[in-house]
């Protein structure tokens, strides 16, 4: 279709392929409509046939009916026929061709973005043509003509920026129940699919190692933390240095005897301002034919150009991750961030972070120990899991060009209290110390005594500088020891449930 709608001998810009791809995606997967409808309505399509098809799909889904080639054809055939022949305006063969025009619906949002951009361009061209006519109207005062032209341009800008639809969904209880039961997990009860979440921790708490451990388990489809994992490709935005990631990937595979060549991991090895350039990551993935199950952003500070304490700017950044990555690929997005300077129990920056993400995990490490504790701070779609302990182990990677040994760390989850205890004992023999080991030794000495005595001894020996840091250190160590099965506090009395070290 190349109809001239400008009256100036010019064809308006449009993309037949993108319009067909949007409709093909919707016919393949009706659940893509909410993503598409955030950007366009039927009016955004240039081709009249495409407008009719989109309208029919919307109408069927609004009635809780499936929208496939047959149902859409029947709906259109009952409403739109050729006046002379009585034949359907939209042939069944064309609908079938639309349904197979794309390999999957995973890129529906990107197709809709192109359709929306072309629609905005057409609106702008029409506005400029109208402005030229107004400008030549010498019978009207100059100020009035300027006001009319300015108003027309502002209207185009409002159309471009405003949401394409104002529909508010109304779900009956049965639909709400089905939606709740339909929650999908990337890692069961830990990381939901189709979500944006965060892993935060202080410097040196092994955030990258743990994020990489998660990513590798997803790549290979292995259970993580003993929980079922959905296998898929992973895009890792290594904004703090991509070259150093290779040795960690190799060490992880060496530690498990797995072939790194079989891992569908794709690395962005440079810092990217995701506020403005997230689309570049999307384009690179689409050119490579990659539809990820997980996107890791390492870290927030290297991919965010706004003010961390600004609620509006931070919420906007998280929306970009949600629309550009999560909604497009129906994937999980794991954002790495630092803990607060004064409050290590929450991520640094605006409170909008917690309000605008689906899950929040905190990582803590006792000083000098190669052990880290993962805690669930928020889980929107499920119960919070118990603290998990990870150990960082050195893996030999051979020797360098000078013959010196090369080693790298790899994370592994300690699934049983016995494993945790053995790791703690090994740490102690290596001359390292930490608050987890400290509380285990104190539990034995205070078995049967009031918890206040245990707390006082811990405060005296933990070496923390301030009252708040001592309190937080005790809380973390006690929580870890309790969930690992070493300690119970019954009616204020300390009970050592296992032998200490």
Same domain, 256 and 277: yes
Same domain, 340 and 471: no
Cα–Cα nearest to 476, from 494, 458, 453 = 458
Same domain, 251 and 397: yes
The residue among 488 and 201 whose pLDDT is bigger is: 201
Can you tell me which residue has the tokens 């809780």?
64
Please check whether residue 323 lies inside any domain of the structure.
yes
Same domain, 481 and 368: no
The residue among 93 and 430 whose pLDDT is bigger is: 93
What's the sign of the alpha-carbon dihedral 296, 301, 304, 306?
A: positive
Note whether 175 and 311 are within 8 A (CB).
no
Same domain, 251 and 226: yes
pLDDT of residue 70: 95
Please check whether residue 322 lies inside any domain of the structure.
yes
The number of folded domains in the chain is 3
Instruction: Tell me the average pLDDT across 466-483.
Output: 80
3-state helix, strand, coil in the chain (%, to 5): 45, 15, 35
The residues, any chain, with a CB within 8 Å of residue 82's CB and separated by 6 or more, are: 88, 89
CATH number at residue 73: 1.10.860.10
Can you tell me which residue has the tokens 């708490």?
205
Same domain, 363 and 468: no
pLDDT of residue 291: 92
- For the chain, give the percent of residues with pLDDT over 70: 86
Please check whether residue 283 lies inside any domain of the structure.
yes
Instruction: Tell me the average pLDDT across 58-64.
Output: 88
Q: Give the domain extent around 190.
A: 185-411
Please check whether residue 3 lies inside any domain of the structure.
no
pLDDT in tens, 166-216: 455 666 787 677 766 667 899 999 999 999 999 999 888 899 999 999 999
Tell me which of 383, 411, 439 is where a domain ends: 411
- For every residue of 317-357, DSSP letters joined together read HHHHHIIIIIHHHT-EEEEEEEBPSS-TTSBSS-THHHHT-
| Distance (Å, whole) CA 242 – CA 110 | 27
pLDDT in tens, 409-437: 999 998 766 566 666 555 544 434 477 77
Strand partners, 360: 198, 378
Please check whether residue 266 lies inside any domain of the structure.
yes
Alpha helices, DSSP H only, in 81-165?
92-99, 108-135, 142-161
Same domain, 250 and 122: no
Tell me which of 411, 430, 461 is where a domain ends: 411
pLDDT in tens, 64-77: 889 999 999 999 99
CATH number at residue 338: 3.40.50.300
Please check whether residue 1 lies inside any domain of the structure.
no
Residue 342 reports pLDDT greater than 60: no
Same domain, 398 and 433: no
Same domain, 34 and 104: yes
Distance of CA 346 to the CA centre of its chain: 19
Confidence of residue 237 (pLDDT cuts 50, 70, 90): very high
Residue 366 reports pLDDT greater than 70: no
Cα–Cα nearest to 495, from 460, 450, 456 = 450
Same domain, 338 and 233: yes
Tell me which of 388, 411, 434 is where a domain ends: 411
Same domain, 198 and 110: no
Same domain, 421 and 346: no
Please check whether residue 176 lies inside any domain of the structure.
no
Please check whether residue 6 lies inside any domain of the structure.
no
């Amino acid at each position: 279709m190349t109809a001239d709608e400008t009256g100036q001998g010019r064809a308006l810009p449009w993309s037949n392929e993108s319009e067909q791809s949007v409709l093909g995606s919707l016919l393949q997967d009706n659940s893509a409509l909410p993503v598409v409808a955030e950007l366009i309505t039927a009016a955004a399509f240039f081709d009249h046939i495409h407008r009719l098809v989109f309208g029919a799909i919307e109408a069927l889904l609004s009635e809780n009916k499936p929208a496939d080639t047959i149902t859409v054809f029947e709906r259109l055939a009952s409403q739109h026929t050729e006046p002379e022949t009585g034949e359907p305006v939209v042939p069944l063969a064309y609908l079938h061709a639309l349904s197979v025009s794309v390999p999957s619906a995973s890129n529906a949002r990107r197709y809709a973005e192109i359709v929306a951009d072309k629609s905005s361009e057409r609106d702008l061209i029409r506005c400029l043509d109208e402005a030229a006519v107004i400008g030549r109207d010498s019978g009207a005062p100059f100020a009035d003509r300027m006001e009319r032209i300015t108003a027309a341009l502002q209207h185009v800008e409002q159309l471009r920026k405003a949401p394409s639809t104002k529909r508010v969904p109304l779900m009956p209880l049965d639909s709400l129940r089905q939606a709740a039961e339909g929650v999908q997990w990337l890692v069961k009860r830990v990381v939901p699919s189709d979500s944006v979440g965060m892993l935060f921790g202080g410097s040196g708490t092994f955030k990258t190692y743990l994020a990489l451990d998660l990513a590798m388990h997803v790549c290979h489809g292995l259970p993580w933390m003993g929980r079922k994992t959905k296998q898929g490709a992973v895009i890792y935005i290594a904004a703090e240095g991509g070259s150093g990631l290779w040795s960690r990937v190799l060490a992880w595979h060496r530690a498990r005897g797995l072939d790194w060549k079989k891992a569908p991991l794709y690395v962005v090895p440079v810092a990217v301002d995701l506020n403005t350039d997230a689309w570049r990551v999307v384009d690179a993935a689409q050119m490579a034919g990659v539809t990820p199950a997980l996107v890791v952003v390492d870290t927030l500070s290297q991919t965010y150009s706004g003010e961390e304490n600004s609620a509006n700017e931070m919420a906007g950044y998280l929306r970009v991750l949600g629309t550009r990555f999560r909604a497009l690929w129906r994937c999980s997005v794991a954002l790495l961030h630092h803990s607060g300077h004064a409050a290590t129990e929450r991520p640094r920056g605006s409170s909008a972070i917690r309000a605008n993400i689906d899950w929040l995990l905190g990582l803590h490490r006792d000083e000098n120990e190669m052990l880290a504790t993962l805690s669930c701070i928020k889980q929107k779609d499920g119960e919070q899991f118990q603290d998990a302990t990870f150990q960082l182990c050195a893996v030999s990677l051979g020797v360098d060009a000078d013959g010196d040994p090369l080693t790298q760390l790899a994370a592994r989850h300690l699934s049983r209290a016995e494993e945790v205890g053995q790791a703690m004992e090994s740490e102690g023999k290596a001359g390292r110390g930490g608050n987890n080991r400290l509380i285990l030794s104190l539990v034995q000495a205070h078995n049967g005594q009031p918890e206040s005595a245990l707390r006082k001894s811990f405060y005296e020996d933990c070496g923390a500088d301030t009252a708040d840091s001592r309190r937080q250190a005790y809380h973390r160590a006690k929580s870890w020891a309790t969930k690992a099965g070493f300690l119970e506090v019954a009616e204020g009395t300390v009970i050592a449930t296992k032998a200490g070290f």
